[in-house]
Structure formats: C-alpha cells, structure tokens
C-alpha cells in the first residue's frame, strides 16, 4: 500500500489562551486525517474551529502538543519541504514585480537567474498573466495578485499543496475562475491538496473528499464525505448536478449544528 502524502495522526494542539494567559486552550483534539498522493481534500468547519491550526501542523509551521505528522511515510520534523503553502491573505513582496514574486522561491533555493526567469514566465502564462510580468502588486487587481500567489506556490513543484481559504477575499466571479484554474492545473499534475474553506459549495465542487470539523474547543473530525461527482468539473455548472445537491444536504446536516455552535461562541467572546 502506498503511504499517504500527508498523515496527521491523533493531533492535539493546546495553546496558552489568548484571553487569559493563565489558562490553556485546546483548539484541536485527537484529529486524524490522511491525504493520498494526488487526492484533493477540503476541510470545512465553523469559524475559529482549528482549520488553519491543522494546516499549519501539516506545513510543519506548528508542532502539535501530541500526535504524529508523516510526509510520504516519513516523520516530519521542521518545515514540510515537500509542501507549497498558499495563505489566506496577501503574501506578495510589494517591491518585486509579478515575475520576481513568482520566482522568489526558486531564487532562494539557488536556481540560476535565467532558468528561474524561464520557469517564471511559463507559470505566469499558465495562470493567465503573460502580460503582467512587470506589474507590481499595487498595480494588480485582487484576482491577479492571487494568480501570482498561485504561480509562486506551484513553481516549486510541491508534492503537497496546502491552501488556506485562498480565494475568500475575491468576488464570486473571479473566485470561480480561479477555482476552475486550480482544478485544471490539478487535473494535469495530480498533487495532493489540503484545501481549507468556509464555503461548503466550494469544497464540494473542488474535492475528492470533504472533511467536516466540529466547533471548538477540542475540535475533532465529525464526518468525511467522498465526492463522487464526475471530473473534469466546472465549479459553477457542477452545482446544478443532482448529486451535488444531495451531497450538499448530507454534509450540511452534519455541519449546520457546528456552525451554529461556532457562531454562538463568537458572539460570547
């Protein structure tokens, strides 16, 4: 049997509480999640439940209080070098143009300038930005900046792609375009993807599997759903598929109560 690309086993993350430094807060308790090579897995859950915490554990940015992380069967220590990470916010360097932002990771890894430029231009083309090589972040729209971030993440050819609500700041049309672009690229390369989102429609439209997290504290996995919709998919069109509607109802019936609990906790904060 092949090893999962990423395995998180019995992960617990306890922090010093942000509200009261004398108290501890267990964000995630005993969560187990395996992602196969080439599998696209989305994690959904109420706000503040611990989605980013799990992703950070997978990226090696956060060491769990207990549990084990393995990458293609090997225990992870330090940063997960086989993973590329696309954050929720803006992560471009404002003083670098689009091309120099895309090639930044290659440069840091020691790739020669000419080769980095060749690959950078190729990635700009693949994300639909062939004309934007010399534009600086402030000269680009939010959607263009996200495309640059996508190219920046994928140019290193990671075996695992970690995405934390990458398109949440975009308008719905741009967002759907980007989602389709990610699916196109993924269909060609079939890397393992861990995709965090608030948006159940987005999770179902993109994924092979949707994992539902409970409200915190002590977040755990409430359910997993295999998404047996045909591919290739268009994220806008697939929403009208009768199976999409069935899956949405099934997942929402598990997620709804957790979202209400999460919302209640936010109001009490």
Residues that bind ligand ATP (CB under 6 A): 15, 18, 25, 27, 45, 47-53, 198, 216
Residue found by looking up tokens 């807060």 in the block: 25
161 by DSSP, 3-state: which?
strand
Nearer to ligand ATP, 45 or 120 (CB): 45
Q: How far is the CB of 96 from ligand ATP (least distance, A)?
A: 27
| CA 62 to each of CA 40, 80, 130: distance values in angstroms, whole numbers, following the listed order | 22, 11, 36
Q: How far is the CB of 250 from ligand ATP (least distance, A)?
A: 22
Q: How far is the CB of 83 from ligand ATP (least distance, A)?
A: 17
Nearer to ligand ATP, 18 or 268 (CB): 18
Residue found by looking up tokens 């959904």 in the block: 44
Going through 36-116 in order, the beta strands assigned E by DSSP cover: 40-44, 66-71, 74-75, 83-86
Nearer to ligand ATP, 51 or 126 (CB): 51
d(CA 64, CA 13): 5
Q: How far is the CB of 149 from ligand ATP (least distance, A)?
A: 17
28 by DSSP, 3-state: which?
strand
Q: How far is the CB of 25 from ligand ATP (least distance, A)?
A: 5
DSSP one-letter string for 180-210: HHHHHHHHHH--EEEEE-S-HHHHHHH-SEE
Nearer to ligand ATP, 57 or 129 (CB): 57
């Amino acid at each position: 049997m092949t090893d999962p690309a990423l395995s998180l086993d019995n992960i617990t993350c306890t922090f010093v509480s942000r509200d009261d430094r004398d108290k501890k807060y267990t964000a995630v308790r005993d969560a187990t999640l395996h992602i196969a090579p080439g599998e696209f897995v989305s994690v959904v859950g109420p706000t503040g439940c611990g989605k980013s915490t799990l992703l950070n554990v997978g990226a090696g940015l956060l060491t769990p209080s207990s549990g084990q992380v393995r990458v293609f069967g090997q225990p992870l220590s330090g940063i997960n070098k086989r993973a590329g990470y696309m954050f929720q916010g803006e992560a471009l360097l404002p003083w670098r143009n689009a091309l120099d932002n895309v090639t930044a990771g290659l440069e840091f890894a020691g790739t020669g300038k000419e080769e980095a430029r060749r690959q950078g231009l190729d990635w700009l083309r693949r994300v639909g930005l062939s004309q934007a090589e010399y534009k600086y972040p402030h000269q680009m729209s939010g959607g263009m900046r996200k495309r640059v971030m996508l190219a920046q993440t994928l140019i290193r050819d990671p075996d695992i792609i970690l995405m934390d609500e990458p398109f949440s700041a975009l308008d719905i049309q741009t967002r759907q375009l980007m989602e389709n672009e990610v699916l196109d690229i993924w269909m060609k390369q079939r890397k393992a993807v861990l995709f965090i989102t608030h948006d159940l429609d987005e999770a179902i439209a993109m994924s092979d599997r949707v994992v539902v997290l409970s409200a915190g504290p002590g977040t755990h996995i409430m359910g997993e759903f295999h998404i047996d919709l045909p591919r290739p998919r268009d994220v806008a069109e697939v929403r009208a598929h009768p199976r999409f509607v069935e899956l949405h109802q099934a997942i929402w019936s598990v997620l709804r109560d957790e979202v209400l609990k999460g919302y209640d906790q936010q109001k009490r904060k």
